[in-house]
Amino acid sequence: MAACMVKEPGLTGDVRRVQAMVGVQGTAHPRLVTPGEVISQDTSFMRGHGTYMEKGVQVASVAGYVTRVNRLITVTPLRQMYQGAVGDTVVGRITKVQTNRWKVDVNSRLDAELRLSNIQLPGGEQRRSNVEDERDMRALLTEGDLVCVEVQKICDDGLLRLAARNIKFGKLSQGTLLAVSPSLIVQDKQRMHDLPCGARVVFGANGYVYITPTVPQEQASTYIVNFEEVPVEVRKTIGRLKNCIKLLAHHSIMISPTSVMTAFDTSIEQEFEIKDLLKPDVMQDVALATVQSMNE
Amino acid sequence: MEVISPEGLRQDGRTALCLRDISCRLGLYERPNGSAYIEMGNTKVLAAVYGPREVRSLSKQNLDECVIQCEMSRIAACQGERVRRPRDQRTRALSLQIAGVFHAAIRKTKYPGSQIDIYVQVLQADGGVTSACINASTLALVHAGVELVDYVVSCTASINKSMPLLDVTQQESASGCEVTVSILPNKGSVVSLDCAHTLHLDHLDEVVDLAMKGCQQVYKAMSQEVETYLQDKHAIMSHR
């Protein structure tokens, strides 16, 4: 099945071309619904997310596809805020410093909270936090800092409680942040990947992707940022990776270490300049090539 | 200038009960959670939705349901003459009206303690501005994945010399009136009813009925676009 090579201007043009490549797979067509559409007249079904019951009829409340698991019907929208799952690794930005906790923006409907008792205090050994620690909270993490943390618990009202009890979690050092839709991030046990091109990428489950230069494993305290100058070659790699992830997100291709590396390698093979990767036609070419090579 | 010529055609060649061409797009921008663009004839409106997200000012936070805010503005070149201020009393009033309309449609109890912001910008105004704003906001909310009871669809109607007109332009409404009706199409319930200029009570029923019929036609066009968008995006996303 060949993708048409006619240049079609307009917004839906590029999506249709990438879809033509993907259409080869021939996945089964699930049911797509829009808000207000009746899903089922059966009252014995349990209603999940994305639906509501009215006068004994189950109606969709979002635009998405219907999934049925036994007696539970849910509608999953294509774009959604990060809902949160216990054990997920997320990347967040500190918005407020309060008495014994920090408020973190994690691309969810409420800012999550990171308690002082849930982080690994500097000094290495495990100890209880005391009054001095509370006063020194700003020295550890202040407003605007980026952190990589784990979701510990989801409270009843949807508030996420975060923890950074491991050495691999904590404040993120030099690098660049990229926000994509959480539904595009592939489920993966390991979120931090050291890519062969010389950069480390953290794929936050909430859609925040952070790219940094590879750092050596040993780090006594994760709260001191290393401001040593990053060499130009590494900066270029990071820039290219960021543009690759951006173009994958633009064409709604799932983002995983494999797809990112494929796009990265394709862009080097076809000798695109890093800044060219921001142009719509180049983005389209690389996206098509990535989907093609992933199909093989 | 006659609004309706002796042959029964209007200034732009439509018949009295004909709707203007509608064209819409979902998902123009990546940064807002949802975005949409709609063109109803010559009226062009852009909408962006941010949210649900943490409330900015704690005084407004409601722990039972979400807070809905809307901000509407017009670009300087939207009308024949340059608009002095993009945000004035009129746009503030329309912003509150649009926010009010969505109080009925968004399932607020699903997002307690959060805030949903709707930003609407009018690029070109040629009658039916409020309608276009509401329709664009609905599409942006659908794109954002915010839970809605139903679409909110809006349309205008008017009357001219006892002849009801559907979807009026700026010129046509200036000489008569402009009634804007917003409905929930699958439920058939009216969410808002607004009248600009004067309308005789005797004509109210037929004008509102006509507008409601027009709304159903607009709904068809909008849901068609949403379905096309879903099919395109879904095919790609289900591919791992």
Q: Convert B80-149 into a string of H (helix), E (strand) and C (coil).
A: CCCCCCCCCHHHHHHHHHHHHHHHHHECHHHCCCEEEEEEEEEEECCCCHHHHHHHHHHHHHHHHCCCEC
Question: SS3 for A99?
Answer: coil
Q: Which of B114, B144, B236 sits opposite A79 (nearest CB)?
A: B144
Calculate the CA dihedral of residues A183, A187, A190, A194 and round it to 10 degrees.
Answer: -60
Q: Are A186 and B240 within 8 A, CB to CB?
A: yes
Residues 66-105 of B with CB under 8 A from A: none
Percentage helix, strand, coil for chain B under 3-state DSSP, each rounded to 5 = 35, 30, 35
Lowest model confidence (mean pLDDT) among A187-191, B67-71, B124-128: A187-191
User: Within an 8 Å CB–CB cutoff, is residue A184 touching chain B?
Assistant: yes
Residue A150: its pLDDT value, please? 92
Minimum distance, in Å, between the CA of residue A220 and any CA atom of chain B: 34
Nearest to B53 among A77, A109, A251 (CB): A109
Q: pLDDT by residue (tens digit) across A141-199?
A: 889 999 999 999 999 888 999 998 887 888 888 889 999 988 888 888 888 888 888 88
Asked if residue B60 lies in contact with residue B77, where contact means CB atoms within 8 angstroms, the answer is: no
Q: CA B59 to CA A140: how far, in whole Å? A: 29
Residue of chain A whose Cα is closest to the Cα of B138: A35
Q: How many residue contacts between A and B have a Cβ separation below 8 Å?
A: 123
Contacts of A283 (CB under 8 A, 6+ apart): A14, A246, A247, A250, A251, A277
Q: Is the dihedral of CA B140, B27, B237, A154 positive or negative?
A: negative
CA of B5, closest CA in chain A: separation in Å? 37
Question: Hey, how many other C-beta atoms are within 10 angstroms of the C-beta on B204?
Answer: 14
A9 touches chain B (CB under 8 A): no
Chain B residues close to A250, C-beta within 8 Å:
30
The model's confidence at residue A2, banded by pLDDT at 50, 70 and 90, is very low
Identity of the residue in B112, B237, B239 whose CB atom sits nearest the CB atom of A78: B237
Sign of the torsion formed by the C-alpha atoms of A224, A228, A229 and A231: negative
Q: Which residue has the higher pLDDT, A226 or B81?
A: B81
pLDDT digits (tens, 9 = 90+) for A41-52: 877 888 888 899
Q: How far is B15 from chain A (nearest CA, A)?
A: 31
Å between A272 CA and nearest CA of chain B: 23
The torsion angle over the Cα atoms of residues A23, A24, A28 and A31, rounded to 10 degrees, is: 0
Residues A77 and A197 sit within 8 Å (Cβ to Cβ): no
Q: Determine the Cα–Cα distance for residues A286 and A55; give it in Å rounded to an integer.
A: 50
> What was the ipTM of the complex prediction?
0.84
- Give the largest CA-CA distance in chain B: 61
- Cβ B148–A184 below 8 Å, yes or no? no
Which positions ≥6 away from A219 have C-beta within 8 Å? A167
| Mean of all residue pLDDT scores within chain B | 90
Predicted local distance difference test score (pLDDT) of residue A25: 41
Is residue B63 scored above 50 in pLDDT? yes
Residue B122 Rama label (left phi>0; alpha psi -120 to 50; beta):
beta
